[in-house]
Structure formats: C-alpha cells, structure tokens
Amino acid sequence: MSKTLREFALELDGAFFGDGSFLVEGVAPLPTAQKMQISFVVSKKHLAAAQESQAGAFILPENLELPNKNGIHVKNPRLAMAKIAHHFYALPRPPAGISSLVQIGANVTLGDNVSIGSFVVIEDNVTIENGVSILPHGYIGKDVKIGKDTFLHPHVTISHGCIIGQNVQIQAGTVVGSDGFGYVSDDNAQLKVPHTGIVQIDDNVELGAQNTIDRGTFGKTWLKKGVKTDNQVHIGHNVEVGEQTLIIAQTGIGGSAKIGSHCIIAGHVVVRDQITIGDRSLVGAKTTVSQSIPAGSMVSFCIPEIPHMDAMRIARIIPRLPELRKRLEKLERDLGHKEKN
C-alpha cells in the first residue's frame, strides 16, 4: 500500500519537494503523525504546527513553503489528502457469501460476489447486482433494484419498488421509500393519501445514518448522481435533488421541492414544500427557505444565542411588528409632509 512521494505527486497533479523517494505508509493529522506518515497544511497559520510535527511529509498549498521538509505542493490540500486517505483506508467489505439466517423470497436475482449478512429479509422479485453488500438486519422490499458495488450498512430499509444505483453508500438505520406525509381532512378526520410512487437513487450517492427518504405520492422522489447527505436528514415525497449536492444534518425538505445541482444545504435547514433552489446555491445553517431562490444564491438567517430575558422581550415584540411598521410608516409620512411645508 505504500507509495513514494513522487508517485503521489504525479497522481495528484502536484509538485514534490524534498526527497521524492520518501515512502509514505499512512495519513495522520499534524499532532499525531509519525515519521512514515503524511499530513497536510491548509493555511499559513498551521505552519508552526507542521514544523513541530513528526510527520515525514506534508501536503501544502502552492503558495506556502516548509524548508528542509518533504512534501507535495497542490492546488487543494484537503482534496489531495482525501485522495491519499482513500488509497490507504478503503472501505472494508465483508467477504462474499449469504448467511444461513437470511430470508429470500421468490424470483430474486443475485449477482456475483454478493455479501448478505444475518437476519436480512429480501422480498420477491428483487434484483441485486454484482458486488453488493447488505449488512445484518437489512430489509429489501418487493421489486427493488440495487446496482453493483452498493453498500448497505446494518438496519437499512429499502421499501418496495425503489431503485438504488451503483456504488451507493447507505449508513445504518436509514429508510428509503417510507410513505410521505399526506392527509386530507374529511368530516374532522384525517384521510391518508396513498403514496404509490418510488424513490430513485442514482450512482455514487451517499446517505448518512438515520435518513428518511419518502416515496413519491405519484412518480418518484429522486436523488441524482453524487448527492451526499449527513445524518438525520429528511427528504419528503417527490423531492428532486440535483447532482453533487450536499445536505447537512437535521435538514428537512418538504414535498415536491426541487434542489439544484452542486448546492450546499447546511445543518438544521427547513425547505418548504414546492420550493425551488437554483443550482450552486448555498443555504446557511438554521435557515427556513420559504420562497424559491435563483441559481447561485447565498441565503441565511440564524439568530445567535442571546440572554434569556432579552429573548423573552423580543418574543413579546414580534407579534406587534405589523402594528409598529404601520406606525413607523405614518411617522415617516407626517415627517415628510412637515419638511415640505
């Protein structure tokens, strides 16, 4: 697994400095790195820590120097370090094979080198392609299709009819294809709207732990290629998420919302139903998106922590804001009239 600094520099489209034949055997942060490991520096403020580090080599931005050290200059140190880390720490996959404690329905198609752990239930008419791993206590509903090299961690549920692409990662406890939240009032009772659609997850998507991805009422909920979600994300029925978008923890996206490609939706965000967020937009933490925003937008609204008594005073004022606005507008009109006279 070890590689020389020169070899890594070539793979990363960087330029090595120091001893190009230095053999890198692992990756570690500056404080704990050892002499055969490589670490990384993001900015000038980390140079002092790098000088004190025991690391044998460093990833540096192109505008920084570490005299008498070994390393590689690159445009994006974080990206370079992630690529090196993938070289040394590939996801450990269980050995191919099917546990004797698996329940498999009728007309199930299993590809080569599939691994299925104990207490997994696979219903009828499921297709599982080559290299798929399903860890213990998973549930795969009827008519599900799972693409090659996908990895389902323990306690993952894929409900009936859903389509999972290739090289998808789904962390523990996530549910794909749960019913959406749809009810209609009928004589003071709530009548459930049947959700007959599916969830489609395209290639190279990664879902965090404890996500819930609702199926479409009709049609589909669709996570496109390369989408990544953090833990505890909820995506409502018929939502569409564009390619390479990141959705951070505890975000909730309402039904039929459309999120563009290459967006970043920060933690604890609420996106109301039927909202459109344009491509390459950024939504700051704890923001409620209540109207559509165009491509390239950067929006946020998060009140920082304040003393409790101040918060109570502010809470009492908020209901009076419409009235106060009218009074302010009247004062401005009166003042303008006096100034004219």
CA distance 26 to 224: 33
Q: What is the pLDDT of residues 233-265, one digit of tens each?
A: 999 999 999 999 999 999 999 999 999 999 999
User: Would the pLDDT of 327 be above 80?
Assistant: yes
Percent of the chain surpassing pLDDT 90: 88
Provide the sign of the torsion angle of the four alpha carbons 163, 165, 167, 169, taken in this order.
negative
Distances (CA, A) of 125 to 40, 106, 122: 49, 6, 9
Residue 237 falls in the annotated catalytic set: yes
Given a contact cutoff of 8 angstroms between Cβ atoms, the answer to whether 23 and 35 are in contact is no
> What is the arithmetic mean of pLDDT over 115-122?
98
Confidence label for 93 from pLDDT (cuts 50, 70 and 90): confident
Q: Is the dihedral of CA 110, 168, 115, 234 positive or negative?
A: negative
Yes or no: say if 146 and 169 are a contact pair by the CB < 8 Å rule: no
- Quickly tell me which residue has 């698996």 as its tokens: 102
Q: What is the pLDDT of residues 147-184, one digit of tens each?
A: 999 999 999 999 999 999 999 999 999 999 999 999 99
Choice among 237, 262, 268, 308 that is catalytic: 237
What's the pLDDT tens digit per position in 55-92?
Answer: 999 999 999 999 999 999 999 999 999 999 999 988 78
What are 194's two structure tokens? Answer: 């049947």
Q: What is the pLDDT of residues 264-289, one digit of tens each?
A: 999 999 999 999 999 999 999 999 99
Read off the pLDDT of each residue in 124-137 and give the average, rounded to a whole number.
98
User: Residue 27 and residue 17: Cα distance in Å, rounded?
Assistant: 18
Query: What pLDDT is recorded for position 308?
Result: 85
Res. 214: pLDDT tops 90: yes
Own/partner pairs for 2-7, CB < 8 Å, 24+ apart?
Answer: 2/36, 3/87, 5/38, 5/57, 5/70, 5/71, 5/72
Instruction: List phi, psi (to 5°) of 340.
Output: -65, -35
Instruction: With a cut of 60, say whether residue 9 has pLDDT above it.
Output: yes
Residue 335 Cα distances to 178, 324, 339, angstroms? 59, 16, 6
| pLDDT score, position 310 | 87
Asked if pLDDT for residue 341 goes beyond 60, the answer is no
- What was the pLDDT predicted at 311? 83
339: confidence class by pLDDT, cuts 50, 70, 90: low
Task: Please give the model's pTM, rounded to 2 decimal places.
Answer: 0.86
Band (340; pLDDT cuts 50, 70, 90): low
